Structure 1
Amino acid sequence: MSERQPLLQLQEQIEQEHGRTIARPDLRTSPDNGLVDVQSDNSLDSLEKQSKNDYRPSEHRTNEHPTSNLDTLVHLLKGNIGTGILAMPDAFKNAGLYIGLVGTLIMGAICTHCMHMLVNCSHELCMRLQVPALSFPEVAAASLDTGPIALRRYSRAATKTITTFLCVTQFGFCCVYFLFVALNVQEVVSHYFVKLDVRIYLMILLIPMILINMVRNLKFITPMSLFASILTVTGLGITFYYMLDNLPHVDTVTHMGSWSTLPLYFGTAIYAFEGIGVVLPLENNMANPQDFGGTTGVLNTGMVTVASAYTAVGFFGYLKYGDKVEGSVTLNLPPDEILSQVVRLAMAVAIFFSYTLQFYVPVNIIEPTVRDHFETERGKDLAANGLRIMMVTFTFVLAACIPNLGPIISLVGAVSSSIVALIAPPIIEMITFWPVGYGRYNWMLWKDIAILIFGLLGFVFGTYTSVAQILNPPVNI
C-alpha cells in the first residue's frame, strides 16, 4: 500500500485549517489509492463537472480580516519590489545592456504567466476537491492526487519539496534583506561617524526585526507595506535623479555579455521577479478574489509595474555606472551628498519593513505544525512566538555569514527561486490538466515543457556560476 496521503485525508486536513466542514460528493478510495465516485466509473470527469457546477471556492472562504484590492496590490508590489530591483544594474552588467533590456522584459512576462498558472491550477483543484483555498504545497499535492495514477504516490514528496524550497527561497530573501539594511546603514554611519563591521549593524537590527515580526495578521502588515512602498518610490525617484544625471553614451558599456556571465544575470533577474511565494496567500486572503486575475486584474497591474521598474533601473543604472556598479545601486550613489545618504536610509527602512511580508510566507507554513504540538492556547502562542524568534535569528546568522551581496542574490535566485517560480508551476499545470486535456494541438503541454526546460537550464548554469564566483570572487569585488 502506498505511503502517500490519500485525497480524502488531504481534504479533511484542508477543511480543518479553514475551520469549516466542506461539502463533497460521496467518495471512496480505490485499491490504488485513487479517488472514485461511487456513482460513476469516470470519477474525475464526474467530480469535475459536479464541482464546477455547484462549488465556488471564494464563496466558502472565511477570512477574519480580508484585504481589499488596494491592500493586495500594495502587498504584491512590496513582495516583488525589494532588494532585487536595486540589483538589476548588476544583472545588466552580466548580461550586457541590450540583452538585459530584452531579457528582463521576457523574464517578467514568463514569471507573471507562471503566477497565473499557479492561481488557475489552484482554482481548478479547489473546485475539483470542493475546498475554499489551497496553499502552494497543497496545490502541488492535490495536482498529483487527482492526476495520473502512477504519480499519486508522490504527492507527499511533492508537498515536502515545494514547502522546503518555498521556505528556502523566502529565508534567502530575508537574509539578503537583513544584509542590505545593514550595508546601507553602515555606508551612512561610516561616512559621518565611524566605520564598524557590518555584523555590528546586523546585531543592532536583530531585536527590532524580531519585534516587528511578531505581527501575525496580513491585514495588520498593510500599513507597514504601504509605508515601505512610499519610501521605496521616493528612494527610487531620487536614485533615478542620480542615474539620469550626465548619462553617458550607450557605447561606453557592453551591449552583449559573455556566455560565462549570463547565468549570473539569470539568477539575479529571477531573484528579482520571484514573488510567486506570496501570490496564493494574497489571493486567498482577498475580499474580492475574482479581481486578482484577468487582463486588468491586480496581478497583471502589479507585475507590469514591477517589470517596467526593473527594466528602467537595470538599464539606466548600468549605463550610468558601467562595470563599477555594485550589488545594490544605492552603494554607487555619491557618499558626500546628503540626498544620496537619505536614499540609502530610506531604502534601508523600506526593506526593513518589507522583511515582514517575505517572512510571512515560511512562518505561515511552519507555525501551524508547531502549534499543533501544544494543547492550551497559551502554550500554542508561546511556541509560535518562540518559533518566530528562532527563525528571525536564523536569518540573522545566515546574513552574518554572507560574504558579498551580488553573488548571494544570484545564488538564491538560481537555486530556489527558479524551482518555485519556473520549474514547479509548469509541472503542476501539466499534472493538473492531465485528466481534462491541454487544449487544441496540446498547446498548453508544449508551452509548459518550454518553460520547464528554460527553468532547468537557468537552475543548473546559474547555480554553478554563482557558487564559482562566491568561491573565487573577481579582484574588483
Structure 2
Amino acid sequence: MEASTISHDESSLSRPLIAHQNSLERKLEDVEANSTHNTTSFYKTCFHGLNALSGVGILSIPYALASGGWLSLILLFMLATAGFYSALLIQRCMDVDSNIRTYPDIGELAFGTKGRLVVSIFMYIELYLVATGFLILEGDNLLILFPNLGFQLAGLTGKQTIVVLVALIILPSVWLDNLSILSYVSASGVIASVIILSSILWAGAFEGIGFHQKGSMINWNGIPTAVSLYAFCYCAHPVFPTLYTSMRNKRQFPNVMLICFILCTVSYASMAIVGYLMFGSKVESQITLNLSTGNLGSMIAIYTTLVNPISKYALMVTPIVNAMRSSFPFHYLSNKRSFGLFISTALVASTVIVALAIPFFGYLMSLVGAFLSVTASIILPCLCYLKISGIYRRFGFEMMGLIGVILLGVVIVITGTYTSLVEILDHL
C-alpha cells in the first residue's frame, strides 16, 4: 500500500485535493476491519462506476423520453452534468479528513450528528429500495418469460418462489468483501448494458420494427415523470465514497467519474432516442415489454436484462453491509468472518421479504428517483460542500453554481415526488 505525505490548505477547496497520509495505527485498523481499502486499480474502479451508473434505468429511459418529448433530453444532460459535479464535491469533502470513509461521514463533518443521520437515512433507504427493486424486476421478467411456471415452494406462489431463488443466486456476491474481486461481477453488468443496447438496435434494424416514429417535441404534463426517471439513472452517489476509498491512486478518481458519466450518458441518450424512434408514444415503461419473444435480437435483450440486477445488487448493498458491520464491536467477536456473513445474509433476506410484499416496480423506482436519488446524489453533496468549504461566506461564481444546482434539485424533488405519489395512489 503506497503512502505519501501531502501538505494542504484545508480552507482552499476550490481545487480537488488528494488523500492525506494515515497514521500507522489507522492503517492497521483499516486492514483488519475492511479489506476493500486501497486495493482497486483505475480500470476496476471504472467498471464499478459504470456498473453502478448504467443500471436498469436504461430500460425505462425511452419511456422517460416519450413522457417528456424530444426537448426533455436537455434535462438528461443537465442531470448528468449536475451528477458529475456533485461526485467531485464528494471527493473534495472526503479529502478534508483522512478518517472519512463513507457518505454519512461527510454529513457528520458538515453538520454534526444531525447531518450524519439525515445523510444516512436518505442513502441507506435509497440503496435498500433499489436493491429490493432489483428482486422485484427479476421476478416480473422471469414470470413474463415463463408465464406457465406454476411451481410452489413452502406456500409461496410461482413468482414469489422466483424472487427467493434469485436472492439465493445473488447471495454469494454479497459475501465478497473485496471490491477488487467484485469488479469481475461488475464487468458482467457493464457488458450486459452494452448487449442490451446493441440487441435493441438490432431488433429495430433487422426485425421489422424500424425507426419511423416521430414523437413530440415537448409534453409538459410528462416532464415530472421524465425527470424522475432520468434522475433514477444517476442514483449511484452513495456508492462513490466506497469506490474512492478502495482506489490505490485516489488522484485518478475525477478521471474515473468523467469516463463513467460520459459513457453512461451516451448510452442512456442512445437508448432513449432509439427506443422512441422505434415505438413512439406506445413505448412501455420497460422497453423489453415492447419486443416480440420470437425474434433473436429481442430474446437476447430480454434475457440479458436479467443479468443487470444480479450483477449490481452486491455493489448497491455494500455500503449498508459495511455500516452494519461497523456498528458492532468486532474486537469482542471470536469469528468476525462468520458474523460478517450473517449480516450480509440477513440483509438479503430482509430485501426478499420487502420484495414479496410490494406488488409493483415502476412506481416505486419513480418515487426513488424523484425524492431519494435527487436528494442523495445532487442536493446533499452540494449542501455538505458549501458547509465544509465555507464558500457560503463569500458570494462568487462557484457559489452561484452551487445554488443553481440545489434549486434544480429542489424543483425536481417537489414536482417529481408529487407526480409519483399521485400515480401510486391512483393505482392502489
In the superposition, the TM-score normalised over structure 1's length comes to 0.78
Asked whether the equivalents of residues 90 and 385 of structure 2 are also in contact (C-alpha less than 8 Å), the reply is: yes
Q: Select which of 311, 317, 325 maps to 2:269.
A: 311
1:80 maps to 53
Asked whether the equivalents of residues 68 and 218 of structure 2 are also in contact (C-alpha less than 8 Å), the reply is: yes
What is the correspondence of 1:26-425 to structure 2 with a 5 Å cutoff?
48=10, 57-60=19-22, 62=27, 64=35, 66-96=39-69, 98-123=70-95, 125-126=96-97, 131=98, 133-144=100-111, 155-190=112-147, 197-244=158-205, 246-251=209-214, 253-259=215-221, 261-293=222-254, 297-370=255-328, 372=329, 375-378=332-335, 380-425=336-381
> Which deviates the most, 340-349 or 303-312?
340-349
Change (3 A) 1:110 1:243: farther
Asked whether the equivalents of residues 327 and 405 of structure 1 are also in contact (C-alpha less than 8 Å), the reply is: no
Take 1:399 and 1:91, find their aligned partners in 2: how far apart are those partners? Answer: 24
Q: Select which of 389, 403, 413 maps to 1:433.
A: 389
Take 1:103 and 1:244, find their aligned partners in 2: how far apart are those partners? Answer: 28
Larger CA Rg, structure 1 vs 2: 1
Gaps of 5+ in 2: 152-156
Asked whether the equivalents of residues 100 and 106 of structure 2 are also in contact (C-alpha less than 8 Å), the reply is: no
Change (3 A) 1:50 1:200: closer
Take 2:144 and 2:250, find their aligned partners in 1: how far apart are those partners? Answer: 42
Q: SS of 2:275's equivalent? A: helix
% identical aligned pairs: 18
Question: How many matched pairs?
Answer: 407
2:154 maps to none
Take 1:51 and 1:165, find their aligned partners in 2: how far apart are those partners? Answer: 25
Asked whether the equivalents of residues 19 and 250 of structure 2 are also in contact (C-alpha less than 8 Å), the reply is: no
Q: CA deviation at 1:373?
A: 6.5
Take 2:199 and 2:13, find their aligned partners in 1: how far apart are those partners? Answer: 52
Q: CA deviation at 1:56?
A: 5.6
Q: Select which of 399, 417, 422 maps to 1:445.
A: 399
Q: Which amino acid aligns with 1:419?
A: T
Q: CA deviation at 1:134?
A: 3.5
Asked whether the equivalents of residues 45 and 243 of structure 2 are also in contact (C-alpha less than 8 Å), the reply is: yes
Q: SS of 2:427's equivalent? A: coil
CA offset digits 1:67-106 (Å, max 9, x no partner) = 111000000000111111111112112211x123222112
Q: Which amino acid aligns with 1:291?
A: Q
Change (3 A) 1:122 1:210: same
Q: SS of 1:273's equivalent? A: coil
CA offset digits 1:167-225 (Å, max 9, x no partner) = 1111121012112222222222238x669753231122122222331112211201111
Q: CA deviation at 1:400?
A: 2.3
Take 1:119 and 1:322, find their aligned partners in 2: how far apart are those partners? Answer: 40
Asked whether the equivalents of residues 124 and 320 of structure 2 are also in contact (C-alpha less than 8 Å), the reply is: yes
Take 1:242 and 1:141, find their aligned partners in 2: how far apart are those partners? Answer: 50
Q: CA deviation at 1:421?
A: 1.0
Q: Which amino acid aligns with 2:299?
A: Q
Take 1:291 and 1:212, find their aligned partners in 2: how far apart are those partners? Answer: 26
Take 2:283 and 2:406, find their aligned partners in 1: how far apart are those partners? Answer: 32
Change (3 A) 1:349 1:51: closer
Asked whether the equivalents of residues 101 and 315 of structure 1 are also in contact (C-alpha less than 8 Å), the reply is: no
1:10 maps to none
